[in-house]
Amino acid sequence: MELCKKEDCLGCFACMNACPKGAISVTHDRLGKTIPTVDANKCIYCGACTKACPVLNESEYHITDECYAAWTKNENDRKNCASGGIGTAISRYVIDNDGVVIGTYFDDDAKLIFDYADTPEQLERFKSSKYVQAYIGYSYKKVKEFLRQGRLVLFIATPCQIDGLNHYLGKKYDNLITIDIICHGTPPITYLKEHIKAKCADAKITNVTFRGENDYHLCVYSDEKLIYSMRSDMDEYFMTFQNSSINRDNCYNCNYARHERISDITIGDFWGINREDLKEQYDGKISSIIINTEKGKKLISMLDKYIYMEKWDIDIAYRYNNQLNNPAVPGRYRETFVKNYEKVGFEKAVRKSGVSTAIAIKKAKDSKIAKAVKKVIKK
């Protein structure tokens, strides 16, 4: 059975979930990207995989016209969540109404995976941003199982993963809510795992964060103990991610980086907002909530207990968040990194691309500034 072209593959694995014979498995291409592979001995050529593929079939997009500036009312979540904590706040509403949330967390192998939560304690794992592609596994099947039980289901993921779910399900469910995050591109998980191993040797990894209390730091934990922490402009992985040099190749032709959205609600940082124009003065992190469907609008109307919201001009969200307008553009380190990764792995490929040199220069400048400040303080 012919799947979509490897360079177009989203890694959503709707095909693997749809296969009735378990003939599709996960492999990696030369750049470490997860792709599906068909076992010809198991395949019965039923076409279920191609019918579920969002690359090979038309998708349903929604016109957006309503936007809010928002933050969670939960003080602990404001401290620990990325942005304004809106994903967690909506998740709390769903759990309080006997629903189930499908989100992502890092397992003990530093692999980002999907799982479900139906208690506040389980929900804690899903907090904070993760700048790497999550492995879907068979979570679409789990979503269908919960939906058929009649439970309210919230699915939070990247737009392509939500589109994969929509195609896999093949029909609408009133008890399904989808939230897509404003995505800046997804590097293969192999890069992050290689980088963490280089920085933390063979330590048991229990969590990885990029945002939260240590904002824009790559933080690695072992049994709740912080064993590595580096700010974004000093860490090779974080820097190349922010520079858009290590995304999956399909991210640079993303069909979801547009005003029309694939989910019920879109959330992300609200860049460019003028805080002086807020009716409620607030100095914390602010999220944008973009409403895409009537279902999303109905949900938002029931969240007064969980979220503070102010209606806002959606053009501001578009203007200051390019991923709502266009796909990511390959960064300055991309070409050299791609040329070297297959031969020497992530750490050496990054070094050859010039990232390490840029970090060394930055450190030298910071050191000079620090010395100058100390001299002034002494005087």
Mean of the pLDDT values across residues 314-329?
95
Mean pLDDT (the chain, rounded): 93
355 versus 155: the higher-pLDDT residue is 155
Confidence band, pLDDT 50/70/90 cuts, at residue 369: low
Q: Which pLDDT score is estimated for 81?
A: 84
Mean of the pLDDT values across residues 225-239?
94
Out of 7-21, 140-154, 176-190, 365-379, pick the least confident. Answer: 365-379
Write the CB contacts of 57 (distance below 8 Å, at least 6 apart in sequence). Answer: 51, 167
Q: Which pLDDT score is estimated for 373?
A: 47
Terminal CA-CA length for the chain: 75
How far apart CA 163 and CA 149 sit, in angstroms, is: 22
* DSSP of 216-267: TEEEEEETTEEEEEEEGGG-HHHHHHHTT-SS-GGGGG-SS-SSSBSSSEEE
CA nearest neighbour of 267 among 141, 95, 81? 81
Task: Decide: 80 and 128 in contact? Cβ < 8 Å.
Answer: yes
Strand, coil or helix: 170? coil
Helix (H) or strand (E) holding 312: strand 307-312
Confidence band, pLDDT 50/70/90 cuts, at residue 1: low
Mean of the pLDDT values across residues 243-249?
96
Tokens of 206: 């229990």
CA nearest neighbour of 178 among 83, 87, 269? 87
Res 218 pLDDT > 90? yes
Write the CB contacts of 360 (distance below 8 Å, at least 6 apart in sequence). Answer: none
Count of all residues that appear for the chain in the document: 379
Q: Which pLDDT score is estimated for 363?
A: 74
Would you call 233 exposed, middle or buried from its count of C-beta atoms within 10 A (0-12, 13-18, 19+)? middle
Q: Which pLDDT score is estimated for 136?
A: 96
Tally the C-alpha atoms within 13 A of residue 206's C-alpha that lie toward its C-beta: 7
Out of 26-30, 78-82, 306-310, pick the least confident. Answer: 78-82
Out of 4-18, 212-226, 258-272, pick the least confident. Answer: 212-226
Give the burial string for 154-176 (b: 16+ CB within 10 Å, else e). bbbbbbbbbbbbbbbbeeeeeeb
Write the CB contacts of 193 (distance below 8 Å, at least 6 apart in sequence). Answer: 109, 110, 111
Res 327 pLDDT > 60? yes
109 versus 353: the higher-pLDDT residue is 353
Mean of the pLDDT values across residues 139-147?
98
Q: Which pLDDT score is estimated for 304?
A: 95
Task: Decide: 308 and 73 in contact? Cβ < 8 Å.
Answer: yes
